[in-house]
Structure formats: C-alpha cells, structure tokens
Amino acid sequence: MIFIITTLAIVALGWVGWNLTLDALWQPSDHETISLILETLEVSSGDLVYDLGCGDGRWLTRIVKDRGARAIGVEIDPVRAIISRLRLILSGSSSRAKVIWGNMYKVDLTGADAVILFLSEEANKKLSSKFNRELTQGARVASFYHKLPGWDPVNTKVNNDGYKIYLYRKRGQ
C-alpha cells in the first residue's frame, strides 16, 4: 500500500512539475468572463472557433451551447485533454466540438474564424507571427489578460474583476 501511495505521489508531483514548464498555467475562467469574451468576439453559428490551451473544455461547451458555433480546443496536457473530451461528451457538444491533444504552436489554424487565448505573455508573443501566417483576413482573436504583441486591438473590454479582454482582427497583407 505504501508503494502505491508513494508512486501516485511521485507521478502527481511530476505532473505538477511538468505543468510548471508550460507557457501558460491552467486557471479556469468564470462564466461571466466566458460570456463577455464570446460576446466581444461576436461568435455566431457559422463560426469555427479555436481555444488554444483549452484546459477543461468549459469554453468549448459554451461556444457550442450558447453560440451554436463549432469549436476546436487544443490542449497539451493529456489529463486536461481527457477531461475536456469527457465534458464535450457529457454536455452533448461532441458533434460540434473536438479536442486535439497536442501542441498549439503546431496546429494549423487555417479556416479559423475566431481564436480564444487565455495564455501567458510569452505564449502570445510566440503565437503572434503564427496568426499572421495562418489566419485569414477578418479572423478575430480575443486575448484575456495579456495583449497580443504586434497587433493593435480593435476593442478592449473589462470583466467584473477588472481584467482586460483584447479583441483583434486580422487585417489584409
């Protein structure tokens, strides 16, 4: 029994330690902030929305249920990717949303109408040039808390806790 407990503790500590090396730590978003971001992004039923670093999948279900849009979440953490997939199944959203277990920097975003970010400043910096390459003109990006370097926000809103939401729109080349 001690062996099992010790093994589980080591695995848990390893998982937490590995998570600390990622570009963004997981912090669940409250429902009011999710609603404000989806409103700011003007997500509609014809949209394909990517959530980079989708965590537990709560954004994905809201995109499908509240806005009728399609959603793709990208999550590098296998535990959270599984949780996200289960949330989609249990909410009845799995026919219009999916979760990719993988690296958000390597996922092709061609065809995205909108992208949601709640990441670190460093992650946003890395993604800025990717968005320039892969997003089509008019695609929208909402970033919660951190700005997107090299992009000028077209709108800024503030949630109930005083944190900013930046809305960007991809301009033509």
- Domain coordinates in residue numbering, the chain: 24-169
Q: Residue 11 is encoded by which pair of tokens?
A: 């695995």
The beta strand positions in 77-123, using DSSP E, are 97-101, 114-117
pLDDT at residue number 29: 80
pLDDT at residue number 13: 53
24-169 placed in CATH 3.40.50.150: yes
Report the candidate in 127, 134, 96 with the shortest Cα–Cα distance to residue 113. 134
For residue 120, give Cα distances in angstroms to 7, 53, 79, 126, 132.
Answer: 31, 11, 20, 10, 19
- The whole-angstrom separation of Cα 57 and Cα 159 is 20
Q: pLDDT tens per residue, the chain (173 residues)?
A: 886 777 655 655 554 454 444 555 566 788 898 999 999 999 999 999 999 999 999 999 999 999 999 999 999 999 999 999 999 999 999 999 999 999 999 999 999 999 999 999 999 999 999 999 999 999 999 999 999 999 999 999 999 999 999 999 998 65
User: Which residue type occupies 148?
Assistant: L
- The whole-angstrom separation of Cα 109 and Cα 146 is 20
Q: Which residue has the tokens 């959530």?
A: 51
